[in-house]
Amino acid sequence: MIRVLIVDDSAVVREILTAELSKDPELEIVGTAMDPYIARDKIVRLKPDVLTLDVEMPRMDGITFLRRLMRYHPLPVIIVSSLTPSGGQLAMEAMYAGAVDVLCKPGAAYTVGDMSVDLIEKIKAAAAVDMRRWVELMTQSAETPLRLPIIETTNKVVAIGASTGGTRAIQKVLSALPANAPGTLIVQHMPEHFTSSFAQRLNEICAMEVKEAENGDSVIPGRALIAPGNRHMLLRRSGTRYYVEVKDGPYVAHHRPSVEVLFNSVADAARQNAVGVIMTGMGSDGAVGLLKMKESGAVTIAQDEASCVVFGMPKEAIRRGGVDYIVPLDKIPEAILNCAENKPLISCSAPPSES
């Protein structure tokens, strides 16, 4: 059983979340709290495994509480925030304060049923987070990155997929890449509005241009495109030009945007001219697509278990045979550039061969 504490100033939200989460036999709602002061006492007494936390609350805001929690009593925290541009900015601030994931509250376009399915999955992923690694990653991400030197211009395309723990991991990778790094496409499982805030934050600290993808955006050296929340992103090719298609569509591997959709499109459009990277996250999204990329001639990389916050997606990709190299997080930027310049990845390990 995963023990969950719900922290929200709205009695209606607390009741809805309690009722919906209690439907899953693997979750136990050990309590609720209307503000951080009550939550603090219940954390000590009830010892929850995961917290759901609102950002805007009386007496103490959720971000201040989160920072104190990460300092004195680190726990996996999922932010449940309003689906607005300002809510997205606050949620991203909370992610950088230590939350492992973020979810929007139900509204006109997001039903309680949809929300509860997503939240249950995120709670189970959060419960699997290695908090020691998460705290280490937060500390490393706050440090000024050592940026790799400029490389020869290349028309390679890099495709990256991540989920739980991915915001920090992606920041660590992108912030180390030079201004002329290969055109990069990223799927990080996040709701809409939140991906825009994520892209803006990365653009402020990276040498590359980072933006939320728009339909028709060109994929060029020095630019990284983040798939918008609630939209799939696909790579397309017209002559020598690569560009993205951003579209609606059904959930794939339980996600929209889906890493599978991106990787499959890169395998078709770029083939051997691509590098695929699968990083920390729960589940199997991207494992089949990465295998397709490898079979089409692309070089494929998985983040290693020791540096993953959740070793789910990389593990499944390795199991399916879609990975050429297993690489620690801090070595992934160098590995990407080596692949872009067709250099060997000498210091990286290959997956164990099946006997």
**Residues acting as catalytic residues:** 163, 189, 285
Phi–psi pair at 167, nearest 5 degrees:
-60, -45
CB 30 within 8 A of CB 78: no
Neighbouring-strand partners of residue 129: none
* Structure token pair of residue 245: 């298609």
Distance of CA 217 to the CA centre of its chain: 21
CB 303 within 8 A of CB 329: yes
* Structure token pair of residue 36: 């951080």
Residue 173: count of CB within 10 angstroms of its CB: 28
**Non-local CB neighbours of 269 within 8 Å, separated by 6+ positions:** 157, 235, 236, 237, 242
* Structure token pair of residue 23: 């439907």
What's the one-letter identity of residue 153?
T
Q: DSSP of 132-152, one letter per residue?
A: HHHHHHHHHHTSPP-PPPP--
Closest CA to 338 of 177, 164, 202, 172: 177
CA distance 343 to 337: 8
CB 278 within 8 A of CB 286: yes
Q: How far is CA 238 from CA 216, 220, 242, in A?
A: 11, 13, 6
Residue 321: count of CB within 10 angstroms of its CB: 15
* Structure token pair of residue 152: 């020869």
Place of tokens 């709701």: 191
**Non-local CB neighbours of 147 within 8 Å, separated by 6+ positions:** 175, 176, 177, 178, 207
